[in-house]
Chains A and B, each alone.
Chain A
Amino acid sequence: MATLKTGLLVTCDPTIRMYLLHLDRNDRSFIQLEIDDTHLLIDDSSREYLVHKIDELHRSNTYILGESQK
């Protein structure tokens, strides 16, 4: 049976996709449909949350100058 869904299409690389799947399972469910390796359909309201989470991930991976001297 054919169906029609609307939502927010996320285009990303496979690495980030794995991170999003991890978030979906462990933190908060937001994925509506896994389309393929680089595309996901998510809830409209999750955009800010994802941007925030990705920023957090980057921050944890960033070496901050001068922090090691403290």
Chain B
Amino acid sequence: MYWKEIRKKQAGLISLLAVKHLARVVRPNQPRQNVKTQVGKSIFAFSNLLHKPKVQTPLKSDSGERQSLLAQFLSTFGTRIEGFYDNPYTVRGMFRFLTPLAKDYVFRLFFATSPCPLESLKQWSLPDPLSIRMHAEAIKRLDSFRIFQVLGPKGSKMVALSQYFRQHLVFALYNSDANLPVQHAPHHVPTLDQLQQYAQFRAAAPGPLHYRPCCLEAAAGKKQRALSLEDAPGATDQVELLVRLGLMRPVGAVAPSTSTATTPGPSPAPFSKRPAPSPSPPPPTPASGRYETTGEGYQFLLKRASTQLWTFMISYLKGFRVRPCLLLPGVVVAVWGRKVVCAPEDRTLVEALGFLFRLTMMTVGRPQEAAALTPTQMQVMRDLRAFGLIYQRKDGAAHFIPTPLVSVLALEGAAAPARPSSRPARRRCPGAARGGPTDLEQGWIVVESTTCPVPRAPCPVPRAPCPVPRAPCPVPRAPCPVPRVRLHGQRPARGHAWLFVQLQYRLPNLVVGSVTLESVRRALMFGITADQITSFLYQHAHPQQRLRRPVIPEAVRDQIFLWEAERNRLLFQRAAVFEGLPPPVHQAAVAFAREQGVLLCEVAAKGLLVVPEAEKGPVHAHIVDLMTRAAALPPQG
């Protein structure tokens, strides 16, 4: 009953907000019909905000990966995260990061005037296992982002929406425009195509993204395994950044087994001209000055551009935290009656993160007034130029313009923000709007299995023998008996498919390659998994290919997994072996180990018992106990 009322209130408030929003938009002397259209538009806009149209997710784990990147970063702040929501754009940005179910929960609690019992939240999910799992995930995510506040003792926990979050969510609902007002329009505004070129130039000129296509690729190439700093003058900063992220390492250094690209260590801001005050040690500079790509680096290449960009952004924000030059006095804020002190360095970080989120909401290609920025935001804006996210005609110019790369940063799941684009390629591929590579990662992939029909003449594909024995093709004239990958687009190599594809030939808008045992094995040796390869093929599938079920031919997918399984024929595990146990002791010890769930294997004839090394303590104690008892017994007969 309680929730029903809340639902009613919620529906009422949405239309109220829409009408209020309209009141600001509609001029009094407007014709009646226009007003109607605007009402419709406004309500549509709000309902869109609440219930985003369901779109095909290109990669199931991708959205979650970025969420966990951000969650991992924010979790380092503990309860101080609440202070982060003191910025409407952060609130709106974080809201975008939530799953649809979590968004729904936020709105349910939005209208609860007092904290709700945690137990009653369980009634929101259906009793089937999938719903319960999704419910638990949504609650966990909201709790980890501290959007929910859990109050009260353990037995009777209460949940409420974070005060700042609630407060600024209202602001986010009212103000959809994140652009900075411009007083004097600049004389020259570059077109979207020019901005696109600029962003691509930045991505191919000094800047960290440069090292996606250049450093990592050069080092990942088959012939040139290592990159020398002499080949890329002025790249020291960026290489340092990549070394800190664990994506590259000096030649000869031992690969850190636990470090991943998602857990980069503290790094100073890489693009600041000022010396970073962080005392973090510099990366070890090898005598040869040569660097190579790590396994994480190769895996990083196969990730979506938005995930890659967020990895850099979070690394940048980590470095940003420790700059003393912009520190403001600590600010005391009250959250649910408690006093929370935003640490001074948090304050600047809150502002930086807020500006980053705001940037993702700005209109691409529209000039923004630089004078409206605070000193912190100005610093962020200057640094982001190095990433190609922002165009500024010259240092200190009155305006700055977000480039199309910003929309890659804003890309959540498959729902790309609407953005004016007049590229013919997009028009030809209607599926492009529903998820798939953006303009910046052009190129589609078409995967065909051996069994698909291919025109006999003129045959563009060279005859090649099958790398593994296969079932006979149902179409006898298929001349190419290896899984083929066709890459469409102007710059298909950008997709990094070369990591696991043997390229065969290149046409003006088409590249054809084969997925062979050798090419996949090479990728596996780099540390890429079969799952990543198939996810990559799925994610970049051509719109027409996307319509097929399954999207990737089963024969190709299964073969890639089989090749991986073949390589993983050896399983290694640290273990402790008890040898020469007398039969009664062996029997009892095996029963004990089995009961504990630690038994790896046993051989009764040799009196052998194998358990994981970490678990050997209790088993060892038990065996000693059994042996003492056996020794104490008088010998039989």
A interface, CB within 8 angstroms of B: 1-13, 16, 33, 35-36, 38-39, 41, 47, 50-51, 54-55, 58-59, 62-66, 68
Between B467, B525, B569, B576, the greatest number of chain A beta carbons within 10 A of the residue's beta carbon is seen for: B569
Residues of A within 8 Å of B585, CB to CB, are 2
Residues of B within 8 Å of A68, CB to CB, are 465
Known: A2-B607, A2-B627, A8-B572. A65 touches B518 (CB 8 A): yes
Majority secondary structure of chain A interface residues (helix, strand, loop or mixed) = mixed
The 6 closest A-B pairs by CB, nearest first: A9-B575, A11-B571, A5-B577, A9-B573, A6-B576, A2-B580
Residues of A within 8 Å of B574, CB to CB, are 6-9
10 A-B pairs within 8 Å (CB atoms) are namely A1-B580, A7-B577, A8-B574, A12-B569, A35-B577, A36-B601, A36-B603, A39-B610, A65-B464, A65-B518
B interface, CB within 8 angstroms of A: 464-465, 467, 482, 502, 514, 516-518, 521, 525, 566-567, 569-582, 585, 600-601, 603, 607-608, 610, 613, 616, 620, 623, 627
Q: Does B573 contact A8, Cβ atoms closer than 8 Å?
A: yes
Residues of B within 8 Å of A62, CB to CB, are 467, 517-518, 521
Known: A9-B610, A36-B601. A50 touches B570 (CB 8 A): yes
Q: Does B572 contact A9, Cβ atoms closer than 8 Å?
A: yes
Across the two chains, which residue of chain A brings its CB closest to B578?
Answer: A4
Q: Closest approach, in angstroms, between the C-beta of B253 and any C-beta of chain A?
A: 15
Residue in contact with B570 in the complex, picked from A16, A33, A41, A64, CB distance below 8 Å:
A16
Residue in contact with A3 in the complex, picked from B580, B600, B601, CB distance below 8 Å:
B580
Q: Does A64 contact B518, Cβ atoms closer than 8 Å?
A: yes
Q: Closest approach, in angstroms, between the C-beta of A56 and any C-beta of chain B?
A: 11
Q: Closest approach, in angstroms, between the C-beta of B612 and any C-beta of chain A?
A: 8
Q: Closest approach, in angstroms, between the C-beta of A52 and any C-beta of chain B?
A: 10
Q: Does A2 contact B465, Cβ atoms closer than 8 Å?
A: no
Across the two chains, which residue of chain B brings its CB closest to A3?
Answer: B579
Across the two chains, which residue of chain A brings its CB closest to B619?
Answer: A4
Q: Closest approach, in angstroms, between the C-beta of B607 and any C-beta of chain A?
A: 7
Residue in contact with B610 in the complex, picked from A12, A35, A65, CB distance below 8 Å:
A35
Q: Does A41 contact B578, Cβ atoms closer than 8 Å?
A: no
Q: Closest approach, in angstroms, between the C-beta of B328 and any C-beta of chain A?
A: 52
Q: Does A65 contact B571, Cβ atoms closer than 8 Å?
A: no
Residue in contact with A13 in the complex, picked from B517, B569, B572, B627, CB distance below 8 Å:
B569
Residues of B within 8 Å of A3, CB to CB, are 578-580
Q: How far is the CA of A3 from the CA of B576 in the complex (A)?
A: 10
Q: How far is the CA of A66 from the CA of B569 in the complex (A)?
A: 27
Q: Does B603 contact A11, Cβ atoms closer than 8 Å?
A: no
Q: Closest approach, in angstroms, between the C-beta of A29 and any C-beta of chain B?
A: 18
Residues of A within 8 Å of B464, CB to CB, are 65-66
Q: Does A35 contact B603, Cβ atoms closer than 8 Å?
A: yes
Residues of A within 8 Å of B521, CB to CB, are 58-59, 62
Residues of B within 8 Å of A5, CB to CB, are 576-577, 579
Q: Does B482 contact A9, Cβ atoms closer than 8 Å?
A: no
Between B467, B570, B616, the greatest number of chain A beta carbons within 10 A of the residue's beta carbon is seen for: B570
Across the two chains, which residue of chain B brings its CB closest to A32?
Answer: B577
Q: Closest approach, in angstroms, between the C-beta of A51 and any C-beta of chain B?
A: 7
Residues of B within 8 Å of A16, CB to CB, are 569-570
Residues of B within 8 Å of A4, CB to CB, are 576-579, 616, 620
Q: Closest approach, in angstroms, between the C-beta of A3 and any C-beta of chain B?
A: 5
Q: How far is the CA of A2 from the CA of B464 in the complex (A)?
A: 59
Residue in contact with A54 in the complex, picked from B517, B569, B613, CB distance below 8 Å:
B569
Q: Does B575 contact A63, Cβ atoms closer than 8 Å?
A: no
Q: How far is the CA of A51 from the CA of B295 in the complex (A)?
A: 15
Q: Closest approach, in angstroms, between the C-beta of A12 and any C-beta of chain B?
A: 5
Across the two chains, which residue of chain A brings its CB closest to B580?
Answer: A2
Residues of A within 8 Å of B567, CB to CB, are 54-55, 58
Residue in contact with B516 in the complex, picked from A6, A11, A65, CB distance below 8 Å:
A65
Across the two chains, which residue of chain B brings its CB closest to A20?
Answer: B570
Residues of B within 8 Å of A10, CB to CB, are 570-572
Residues of A within 8 Å of B620, CB to CB, are 4
Q: Does B623 contact A2, Cβ atoms closer than 8 Å?
A: yes
Across the two chains, which residue of chain B brings its CB closest to A50?
Answer: B570
Q: How far is the CA of A1 from the CA of B627 in the complex (A)?
A: 11
